[in-house]
Amino acid sequence: MSMELELKNVALRAGDQLKLKGQILHDADRFQIDLGCEADELALHFNPRFHDDEDGSVLVCNSKTDGCWGDEERETHNPLQRGSEVKIVVKLTGDMFEVELPDGEEVQFPNREGMDIISYVRVRGDFRLTSFKIC
């Protein structure tokens, strides 16, 4: 069953990190980690997919402004495996978001709108979250 964690009125800034641990479901289709100021204003949508129509297993990143998606970035080398226990760290550097994945892999995504304070965080999809920390 898919999960959802939604945090509002938080305040994450450059230098802060989100650390998540959990298990990607065995039959996972997708999950996502969203950072922004509300559901329609996302600076980072980090979206691993395991059955994408175009790319199969792929890491999709995007931003959302006024409810509209921006240009997608796709990384077709997806180190995330269905059924595995993983630790994912999202680092806010100010200009960028750095997503640390297993096996020393990292995905970077620019902070396109220069959102200084992240007040909204959502984690949802085919992931069993066992630990969530803001550091």
Closest separation in Å from C-beta 33 to ligand GAL = 11
Closest separation in Å from C-beta 96 to ligand GAL = 18
**CB nearer to ligand GAL: pick between 124 and 128:** 124
Q: Which single residue brings its beta carbon nearest to ligand GAL?
A: 62
Binding interface with ligand GAL (CB under 6 A): 45, 47, 60, 62, 69, 72
d(CA 90, CA 96): 10
What b/e string do you get for 12-41 counting C-beta neighbours within 10 Å, with b at 16 or more? Answer: beeebebebebbbbeebebbbbbbbeeeeb
Q: Indicate the SS3 state at residue 121.
A: strand
Closest separation in Å from C-beta 15 to ligand GAL = 27
**CB nearer to ligand GAL: pick between 45 and 122:** 45
Closest separation in Å from C-beta 69 to ligand GAL = 5
* Strands lying side by side in the sheet with 85-92: 106-110, 96-100, 85-92, 17-24, 127-134
